[in-house]
Amino acid sequence: MRLQLSRWYAREHVLLCLVPAFFIAGAIGVFISQAAVMKYLGARANKVLAYGVASVSGSILAVCSCTVLPLFAGIWRMGAGLGPACAFLYSGPAINVLAIILTARILGVQLGVARAVGAILFAIVIGLVMHFVFRKEELERANGQADLPEPEVVRPLWQNAAFFAAMIRILVFAN
Protein backbone atom coordinates (compact mmCIF):
# COMPACT_ATOMS: atom_id res chain seq x y z
CA MET A 1 0.00 0.00 0.00
CA ARG A 2 2.78 2.43 0.88
CA LEU A 3 4.55 1.76 -2.40
CA GLN A 4 1.34 2.45 -4.32
CA LEU A 5 0.86 5.68 -2.37
CA SER A 6 4.44 6.70 -3.12
CA ARG A 7 3.99 5.95 -6.81
CA TRP A 8 0.73 7.94 -6.88
CA TYR A 9 2.36 10.91 -5.14
CA ALA A 10 5.38 10.86 -7.44
CA ARG A 11 3.18 10.66 -10.53
CA GLU A 12 0.86 13.45 -9.36
CA HIS A 13 3.74 15.64 -8.20
CA VAL A 14 5.56 15.33 -11.50
CA LEU A 15 2.46 16.01 -13.57
CA LEU A 16 0.98 18.81 -11.48
CA CYS A 17 4.12 20.53 -10.18
CA LEU A 18 7.26 19.80 -12.15
CA VAL A 19 5.81 19.92 -15.66
CA PRO A 20 4.19 23.33 -15.06
CA ALA A 21 7.46 24.51 -13.48
CA PHE A 22 9.34 23.64 -16.66
CA PHE A 23 6.70 25.53 -18.66
CA ILE A 24 7.11 28.56 -16.38
CA ALA A 25 10.90 28.33 -16.65
CA GLY A 26 10.51 28.20 -20.42
CA ALA A 27 8.21 31.22 -20.28
CA ILE A 28 10.82 33.11 -18.29
CA GLY A 29 13.38 32.27 -20.95
CA VAL A 30 11.09 33.29 -23.80
CA PHE A 31 9.00 36.16 -22.50
CA ILE A 32 11.38 37.88 -20.07
CA SER A 33 14.34 39.44 -21.76
CA GLN A 34 17.87 38.82 -20.63
CA ALA A 35 18.29 42.58 -20.36
CA ALA A 36 15.47 42.73 -17.78
CA VAL A 37 17.02 39.93 -15.73
CA MET A 38 20.41 41.65 -15.90
CA LYS A 39 18.89 45.01 -14.96
CA TYR A 40 17.08 43.77 -11.87
CA LEU A 41 18.99 40.66 -10.79
CA GLY A 42 22.35 40.85 -12.55
CA ALA A 43 25.75 41.03 -10.93
CA ARG A 44 26.01 44.75 -11.76
CA ALA A 45 22.45 45.61 -10.66
CA ASN A 46 21.73 47.80 -7.66
CA LYS A 47 22.15 45.35 -4.75
CA VAL A 48 19.19 46.66 -2.74
CA LEU A 49 16.93 46.40 -5.78
CA ALA A 50 18.31 42.98 -6.81
CA TYR A 51 17.87 41.36 -3.41
CA GLY A 52 14.54 43.09 -2.85
CA VAL A 53 13.11 41.86 -6.16
CA ALA A 54 14.55 38.37 -5.71
CA SER A 55 13.24 37.94 -2.17
CA VAL A 56 9.63 38.82 -3.04
CA SER A 57 9.40 37.39 -6.57
CA GLY A 58 8.29 34.02 -5.29
CA SER A 59 5.13 35.54 -3.85
CA ILE A 60 3.41 35.38 -7.23
CA LEU A 61 4.35 31.75 -7.82
CA ALA A 62 2.83 28.85 -5.93
CA VAL A 63 5.84 26.57 -6.09
CA CYS A 64 7.36 23.99 -3.79
CA SER A 65 11.04 23.55 -3.06
CA CYS A 66 11.71 21.18 -5.96
CA THR A 67 9.57 23.09 -8.44
CA VAL A 68 11.50 26.32 -7.89
CA LEU A 69 14.76 24.72 -9.09
CA PRO A 70 14.05 25.04 -12.85
CA LEU A 71 13.05 28.67 -12.27
CA PHE A 72 16.26 29.33 -10.34
CA ALA A 73 18.32 27.70 -13.10
CA GLY A 74 16.51 29.77 -15.72
CA ILE A 75 17.17 33.15 -14.14
CA TRP A 76 20.74 32.24 -13.20
CA ARG A 77 21.52 31.18 -16.79
CA MET A 78 20.02 34.42 -18.06
CA GLY A 79 22.58 36.40 -16.07
CA ALA A 80 21.19 36.87 -12.57
CA GLY A 81 23.83 37.13 -9.90
CA LEU A 82 24.26 34.09 -7.69
CA GLY A 83 23.21 36.01 -4.57
CA PRO A 84 19.88 37.26 -5.95
CA ALA A 85 19.23 33.91 -7.65
CA CYS A 86 19.79 32.08 -4.34
CA ALA A 87 17.55 34.60 -2.57
CA PHE A 88 14.84 33.75 -5.10
CA LEU A 89 15.54 30.02 -4.67
CA TYR A 90 15.05 30.28 -0.92
CA SER A 91 12.11 32.65 -0.84
CA GLY A 92 10.08 31.09 -3.67
CA PRO A 93 8.57 28.22 -1.69
CA ALA A 94 8.56 30.12 1.61
CA ILE A 95 6.76 33.29 0.55
CA ASN A 96 4.21 32.17 -2.00
CA VAL A 97 0.75 33.53 -1.35
CA LEU A 98 -0.83 30.13 -0.74
CA ALA A 99 1.72 29.20 1.93
CA ILE A 100 1.39 32.55 3.71
CA ILE A 101 -2.43 32.43 3.70
CA LEU A 102 -2.47 28.81 4.86
CA THR A 103 -0.04 29.59 7.68
CA ALA A 104 -2.08 32.62 8.76
CA ARG A 105 -5.37 30.70 8.67
CA ILE A 106 -4.12 27.68 10.59
CA LEU A 107 -1.50 29.11 12.94
CA GLY A 108 -2.69 32.70 13.21
CA VAL A 109 -2.11 36.00 11.51
CA GLN A 110 0.96 36.79 13.59
CA LEU A 111 2.74 33.65 12.44
CA GLY A 112 1.64 34.26 8.85
CA VAL A 113 3.19 37.73 8.93
CA ALA A 114 6.26 36.37 10.73
CA ARG A 115 6.65 33.75 8.01
CA ALA A 116 6.47 36.35 5.24
CA VAL A 117 8.89 38.75 6.93
CA GLY A 118 11.21 35.93 7.97
CA ALA A 119 11.26 34.47 4.47
CA ILE A 120 12.24 37.82 2.99
CA LEU A 121 14.94 38.49 5.59
CA PHE A 122 16.39 34.98 5.47
CA ALA A 123 16.37 35.04 1.66
CA ILE A 124 18.38 38.25 1.65
CA VAL A 125 20.84 36.91 4.24
CA ILE A 126 21.26 33.59 2.41
CA GLY A 127 21.72 35.40 -0.90
CA LEU A 128 24.35 37.71 0.60
CA VAL A 129 26.20 34.76 2.15
CA MET A 130 26.23 32.93 -1.20
CA HIS A 131 27.42 36.09 -2.93
CA PHE A 132 30.19 36.50 -0.36
CA VAL A 133 31.31 32.86 -0.49
CA PHE A 134 31.42 32.80 -4.32
CA ARG A 135 32.44 36.44 -4.88
CA LYS A 136 35.52 35.58 -6.99
CA GLU A 137 33.53 33.39 -9.36
CA GLU A 138 30.76 35.97 -9.54
CA LEU A 139 33.25 38.73 -10.33
CA GLU A 140 34.71 36.63 -13.15
CA ARG A 141 31.23 35.91 -14.45
CA ALA A 142 30.22 39.58 -14.28
CA ASN A 143 33.35 40.64 -16.13
CA GLY A 144 32.72 37.98 -18.78
CA GLN A 145 29.22 39.21 -19.53
CA ALA A 146 29.28 41.62 -22.43
CA ASP A 147 26.84 44.50 -22.81
CA LEU A 148 25.62 43.42 -26.21
CA PRO A 149 22.28 44.71 -27.44
CA GLU A 150 19.60 42.07 -27.31
CA PRO A 151 18.12 41.12 -30.67
CA GLU A 152 14.52 42.20 -31.04
CA VAL A 153 12.16 39.23 -30.90
CA VAL A 154 8.88 39.87 -32.62
CA ARG A 155 6.24 37.31 -31.80
CA PRO A 156 2.59 37.55 -32.80
CA LEU A 157 0.13 38.22 -29.99
CA TRP A 158 -1.80 35.04 -30.75
CA GLN A 159 1.30 32.94 -29.96
CA ASN A 160 1.72 34.64 -26.59
CA ALA A 161 -1.99 34.22 -25.83
CA ALA A 162 -1.93 30.55 -26.87
CA PHE A 163 1.07 29.81 -24.68
CA PHE A 164 -0.40 31.51 -21.63
CA ALA A 165 -3.77 29.83 -22.22
CA ALA A 166 -2.03 26.46 -22.29
CA MET A 167 -0.18 27.27 -19.06
CA ILE A 168 -3.41 28.34 -17.36
CA ARG A 169 -5.15 25.22 -18.60
CA ILE A 170 -2.36 23.02 -17.19
CA LEU A 171 -2.03 24.84 -13.89
CA VAL A 172 -5.72 25.34 -13.13
CA PHE A 173 -7.63 22.54 -14.76
CA ALA A 174 -5.10 19.76 -14.15
CA ASN A 175 -5.60 20.17 -10.42
Q: Is the pLDDT of residue 92 over 70?
A: yes
Number of domains in the chain: 1
104-128 per-position pLDDT tens digit:
999 999 999 999 999 999 999 999 9
- Contact indicator for 125, 92 with CB cutoff of 8 Å: no
Q: What is the pTM of this model?
A: 0.73
- Contact indicator for 123, 91 with CB cutoff of 8 Å: yes
Which of 128, 22, 114 lies closest to 68, judged by CA?
22
Length of the chain, please?
A: 175
- Contact indicator for 98, 92 with CB cutoff of 8 Å: no
Give the domain range for residue 141. 2-146+155-173
